[in-house]
Structure formats: C-alpha cells, structure tokens
Structure 1
Amino acid sequence: PNDPADDPIESLCKEKNISLFRGNTFDLLDRHYKAGLKFNAVAIVKIPSDCPLIDPDIISKTISYYLDNSDKFDYVSNLHPQSYPDGNDVEIMSMKVLKKAWEKAYRDLEREHTTPYFWENPDQFKIGNVKWETGYDYSMAYRWTIDYYEDYLFIKEVYDELYNQNPLFGINDILNLLSLKPELIKINEKYAGVNWYRNHLTELKTISAEQTKQV
C-alpha cells in the first residue's frame, strides 16, 4: 500500500529486483485490480500477507484446480466453505470478473477484502472451492495467521522449531509439531476462530455466526 511505513518493503524489492505495485491502503479491490492491469495478468491469486505459515502445496493445489476448471468457475478459493487451519487462505479469480467487481462493488467490506462481491453474489458468479483432502475441518480449531501479539509468539515458535531443519515445512510438519508439543497451541488458542466476519454478520448474506468468533 501507499503507506510510508511500507517503504522498506519497496526498498527491499528494488534491492532484490522484484517487481511491485503500490496502491490504496484500504481499498484492496482497487489495488488488486490495478496491480493486475500493470502486469497484464489473466488471473489474480490472492494470498494474505498475514499468513506466514501458508503451505505452498495448498497454494499449488488451489491454482491447479482453478486452471483445470477455468471454463467452469469464475472464482476459486479454499474458503467457502473453509476447512484448512486458518492461515492457509488462497483465492483465485480471472481479471474479467475482478473488473466487474471493481466496477460494481461499493460496500466498504467489499472494497477492503477484495472478494466478498463474488461469494456474496453466487447468482452472478460461478464459485468453486477446494476442500482439505483429509476430510477434516480445522478452520475454527487452529489459528496460523497474525493479528495479535500471541499470534506472533506462536508463529515464532513454529519457525524456531521447524525452519532450520526444513525451510519448506508445510501443514503436516506443523500439525506433527503441535501433536508433540501441544502447549504451543495454547499460546494463541483464545483467538482461534476469530476473523473479520465477526464485525459484519448483519451485512453478510452467506456467512453465519458459526463461521466466526468474538474476541
């Protein structure tokens, strides 16, 4: 975003010769769409920056599902319904439908969170979903994203335990670690299930109270 606090990220990208786009801090729909235009994208893969434990294999699986079914779906995610532990969020949409959302979405929550216009209007878009192949639903049981200090402490412990032996550790490595050291779960378990839905339950048509938790 165009926040001076993010200038160091731009400097790092330039140092590493990584292309970037900066835009509106709070209108992420605008930022995603204009980034797509700048780089002549055909589709956009949305990965939250607050999910540092996301498994690359989950990203690849979701992308593959979208590519294999691009004639069937406008928007594919692993969130509707969600089954993976919170912090493995992947969403993919074509630039064509992203443009439609950019033109028509007007609610603050639609602009800030980029994709609600799709999954809130299933009559207008073809929605696809990737479920965890295990059949488990850990979406409300584990929290691997970062909003609170306790989240940072949890994520730091996971990296300290796993990164040196396997920098490419994934979901199964984390679950194995938590089975061996269940005390790590307690670090941020009071926030498990807490997400942005909780502030908009009266506005969201496709989200129920069971899909979120108050702090």
Structure 2
Amino acid sequence: MTIMIALEGTAALSGPVECVPLRIFVQARMSSRRLPGKVLAPFRSKPMIAHVLRAATQALPGDGKVVVITSDDVTDDPLALYVEHLGFPVFRGPLDDVLSRFRQAAVAFPCAWMLRISADSPLIDPQVIAAVAARCDFDGDLVTNIFPRSFPKGQSAELIRTASLNALSDHALTTDDREHVTPYFYRNPKDFRILNIRLGADLSSSASHTVDTLDDLRRLEGAGDVSIALEDIWEERS
C-alpha cells in the first residue's frame, strides 16, 4: 500500500541559519520496502509523521530546532511538501547514503549535536527524547538509549556529536554504516566515548512501537498513549 497526500502551500525558514547546541533531525522517507508511504499514513486522524513532530517539539521547543531530513528522490516530494506545510524546515539529501545526508544537514542547519529519531515511531515519548537531549553536556561522541537497548523499539533516540560524525573515515564505512548512520560507533566502542541511558527495568522485549507493516500501523493506532517511567534510569559509559 502506498499512501500519498497532496497539499498546497509551504512554509520554511528564511534568512541565515545560526549554529545552535542541538537540533533534532527526524529521519524520514516515503520509499519503505514493506509499507511505502508509511510516514504519511493516516494515524489517529493525522499523518504519522505529525505525531513524531509533535513529540519532538514538546521535547525541544523553538523555531528551527526540529528538522525533517529526507531524500532528494522524487518519491519524497509529497513528504517534503507536507512537512513544509506544517511549518517545519526540511533538508533533502542522498536517499541511500543517510550518513552523508546527516552530515550535509548539519551544514545547512548548523549544530554541535544532532539528535536522531525516526519518523516511523508515532508513539515516541517526548520525555525519552528530552532525557537524551539533556545529556548534550556529555564530553563524548554519542549519547544513546540502544547500547544496549532497554527501551522498547520505537522509543529510540541518538544524540550524535556533529564533529565526531564528520570525523569518521569514509574508507572505513560500510554500506550498512551509511544507511543506518551509527553502526560504526557501536561496532568500535573502544574508539569512542559513548553514554548509554538504560532503564532500571528492561523493556526491550516488550511490544514494538515502530511501524514497519500495515499490521503494526493498525495495532499501534488502537494502543494507548505511551509514557515511559524515567524515574529509574542509569548511565553507562564506554
């Protein structure tokens, strides 16, 4: 099933973009293999990505703090149009080399840290995003909550130091590294300073909050709102 939404009118930032300590980059594309167009799929009366953007802005308010980064492929034209219609900035870059897309986005929207979340997580808890963002004073390369994972899938956030991502050697990066952005850090933890946020209770095997299929979309649409209890969290450094 391919979902397409046509909208008229756009809104975007104008003028020079200042460098800020942190921006949230919402990674999105229309060309999902299992559910094409899912990020614009109707979910609780709105396109799915609208729920992710709401959570992101609750976690990090402010103009230009939340940027959708998608591809320059024609399939992502409807997505870019919709996001701009909502008033959010959009960056478009390579479809498959997502790591380069993030690097380029950080040039167009300068920031010391980029917080990566996915547009296929409509139930992501703003508190989870905020908890990771709050660690932007970490003197390291990466703050994450998936190394190892203790949060449910679909409640993932990665705070990447822009300089550290830019410093990765292109010759050392695999196709998988370029598609998924952060595997090189996790594969070589001794070479980086990584801070992992871990829940006191391991929820990694609980029901996924990610939409990969139409069944996922239907299941999550009928689920209740998600609130992750963050009173008992731990920090692990590598």
Structure-1-length-normalised TM-score = 0.69
CA 1:119–1:18: 2 relative to 1, 3 Å:
same
Question: C-alpha deviations, 1:37-63, integer Å up to 9, x for none?
Answer: 111111110001111111000100111
The percent of aligned pairs where both chains have the same amino acid is: 31
2:114 to 23, 38, 44: 44
Q: Secondary structure at the match of 1:9?
A: helix
**Cα RMSD over matched residues?**
1.8
Contact 1:77 1:128 in 2 (8 A): yes
1:100-139 to structure 2, matched below 5 A, reads: 100-101=167-168, 103-132=170-199, 135-139=200-204
Relative to structure 1, is the Cα distance of residues 30 and 102 closer, same or farther in structure 2, using a 3 angstrom cutoff? Answer: farther
1:25-44 to 2 correspondences below 5 Å: 25-44=95-114
Secondary structure of 1:22's aligned partner: strand
Alignment of 1:1-215 (within 5 A): 1-64=71-134, 66-68=135-137, 70-71=138-139, 73-101=140-168, 103-132=170-199, 135-158=200-223, 162=224, 169-172=225-228
- Matched letter for residue 81 of structure 2: S
Q: What's the TM-score once normalised by structure 2's chain length? A: 0.62
Deviation at residue 105 of structure 1 after TM alignment: 4.1
Return 10-19 or 74-83, whichever deviates more. 10-19
Runs of 5+ consecutive residues of structure 2 not aligned to the other structure: 1-70, 230-238
Greater share of residues in strand: 2
Which structure dedicates a bigger proportion of its chain to helix?
1
Aligned-pair CA distance for 1:20: 0.9
Alpha-carbon distance between aligned partners in 1 of 2:209 and 2:201, rounded to the nearest angstrom:
16
Whole-Å separation in 2 of the counterparts to 1:123 and 1:104: 19
Aligned residue type for 2:76: D
Tell whether the 8 Å contact from 1:33 to 1:102 is kept in structure 2 after alignment: no
Structure with max Cα Rg: 1
Kindly state the Cα deviation for residue 109 of structure 1 after the two structures are TM-superposed.
0.8
Cα distance in 2 between the residues matched to 1:145 and 1:9: 19
- Is the contact between residue 146 and residue 196 of structure 2 (CA under 8 Å) also seen in structure 1? yes
Q: 1:128 and 1:139 mapped to 2: Cα distance?
A: 18
Residue 48 of structure 2 is matched in structure 1 by none
Moved more, 3-12 or 30-39: 3-12
Looking at structure 2, the residues matched to 145 and 57 of structure 1 have their Cα atoms a distance apart, in angstroms, of 17
Tell me, in whole angstroms, the C-alpha distance in 1 between the residues paired with 2:91 and 2:72: 9
